[in-house]
Amino acid sequence: MAYLFTSESVSEGHPDKIADQISDALLDYFLAFDENSKVACETLVTTGQVVLAGEVRSNTYLDVQQVARDVINDIGYTKGDYKFSGDSCGVISLIHEQSQEIYQGVDKTDKENQGAGDQGMMFGYATNETESYMPLALDISHKILIELAKLRREGKELTYLRPDAKAQVTIEYSDDHKPMRIDTIVISTQHDQFDTDDSKMLEQIKTDMQKVLMPRVKALFSEEIQALFNDEITYHINPTGKFVIGGPHGDSGLTGRKIIVDTYGGKGAHGGGAFSGKDPSKVDRSAAYASRHIAKNMVAAGIADEVLVQVSYAIGVSKPTSITVNTTNKHIDVTDGEIAKKISQIFDMRPGMIEKRLKLRNPIYRETSAYGHMGKSPKTETKVYKSNYSGEVKKEVELFTWEKLDYVNQLKEAFGI
């Protein structure tokens, strides 16, 4: 019997995502000026206030308040009407030095054998139902909000848009787990106060979302996926009505409170650890990226239609305590246990080697902090960072290295495909 599956995403202007972006911007600045920085910083945003907290060990000093303000302005919180603005909000820093007891267990002279920054389990997932090897419902949800933000920044149509927004997509699947159609789309977008009454305002927003936004979203997909967009989709647009009060004025935001949005939208599994604000010695982040890298390359190599990889660690210990692989609809006659054993031989999952393989000690994290850490295209960029205390640094960095399909041939050879 067919079944429904739903995923959601939130915009860069959502309070929790503001917090994530500030935390990752701080991380990038620390890594830009000192690649060996150890960072675990959290952010709280609320009406007119930002609180920065956490532990940092670094040889550089930053104006963390200015970094936070720049992120807020860049997102689009620049008007007094929003009750939250990068130029006027208060920024309190409670960041202090990392515990020596944690540092001594993680940092080693032999970088390849540095210990894991914490215990825990991390997951990576991939599926062949989209070109990005991501779950379709989440992929569509992300793209709805990316296009909505582009419309807001273009300022030509839908000029009433404000930064806060959420989207949710429900897909109907067949018994053999293939997407059949889009059943429901939910979009809630913050907006300016209209001069008209609330009913006319809501009708205008509904029309714009379906007639202006959704055609742009649909055009981003292959013909096969475009066929899933049908005339019978149920739309819920701003279902509570008016959405003028939003962002940190409408709700407080915290780093790490959107971990399912950040990963696979409820597909696969999640170990519970957040990503943003953490340097790559924290395996919550680096091992999750490495597990996604493995899963994506496995699906691309044709080992299975769907792959879930789990890895676990003990704090201060470099070698993983376990590596587990679960596959769906395998195309090879090998057990999951045998696959996991071979994967552990191909991919070195020691934290230091993950950092080296995926080039994680670079300022590459602000780009991950909205619209998902997984599923984006790898690319190379030149980034410039300026500091009143350390001058200017220019770095060429690779973004989303864990999305590269650079192990496909090796996996095909290893599994005789």
Of 256, 280, 277, the closest CA to residue 64 belongs to: 277
Answer yes or no: are the C-beta atoms of 247 and 49 closer than 8 Å: no
Tokens of 361: 């000690």
Q: Is 165 annotated as a binding residue?
A: yes
The reply to whether 347 sits in an annotated binding site is: no
Q: How far apart are CA 395 and CA 339, in angstroms?
A: 38
> Annotation-wise, does 274 bind a ligand?
yes
| 107 carries a ligand binding annotation | no
Q: Is 258 annotated as a binding residue?
A: yes
257 annotated as a binding-site residue: yes
CA nearest 246: which of 17, 6, 9?
A: 17
- Say if residue 35 is exposed, middle or buried (CB neighbours under 10 Å; 0-12, 13-18, 19+): middle
| Token pair listed for 130 | 């989209």
Tell whether 166 is in a known binding site: yes
Backbone torsions φ then ψ of 395, nearest 5 degrees: -135, 135
How far is Cα 86 from Cα 78, in angstroms, rounded to an integer?
6
Place of tokens 């909505």: 148
Interior angle at CA 120, CA 56 and CA 312, nearest 5? 120
Look up residue 283 and give its two tokens: 């395996």
Residue 167 annotated as lining a ligand binding site = no
From residue 248, give the alpha-carbon distance in Å to each of 48, 72, 163, 199, 277: 8, 11, 11, 26, 19
394 is known to lie in a ligand binding site: no
Residue 278 annotated in ligand binding: yes
42 assigned ligand-binding residue: yes
Is 98 annotated as contributing to ligand binding?
A: yes
- Is there a binding annotation on residue 79? no
Whole-angstrom distance, CA of residue 18 vs CA of residue 23 = 9
- 221 assigned to a ligand binding site: no
User: What are the tokens at 145?
Assistant: 């909000």
- Residue 359 counted as an annotated binding residue: no
The verdict on whether residue 178 carries a ligand-binding annotation is no
Q: Which residues are annotated binding-site positions for Mg(2+)?
A: 16
Annotation: binding site = 14, 16, 42, 55, 98, 164-166, 242-243, 251, 257-258, 274, 278, 282
Name the binding residues for ATP: 14, 164-166, 242-243, 251, 257-258, 274, 278
Binding site as annotated, residues for L-methionine: 55, 98, 251, 282
Annotated binding site for K(+): 42
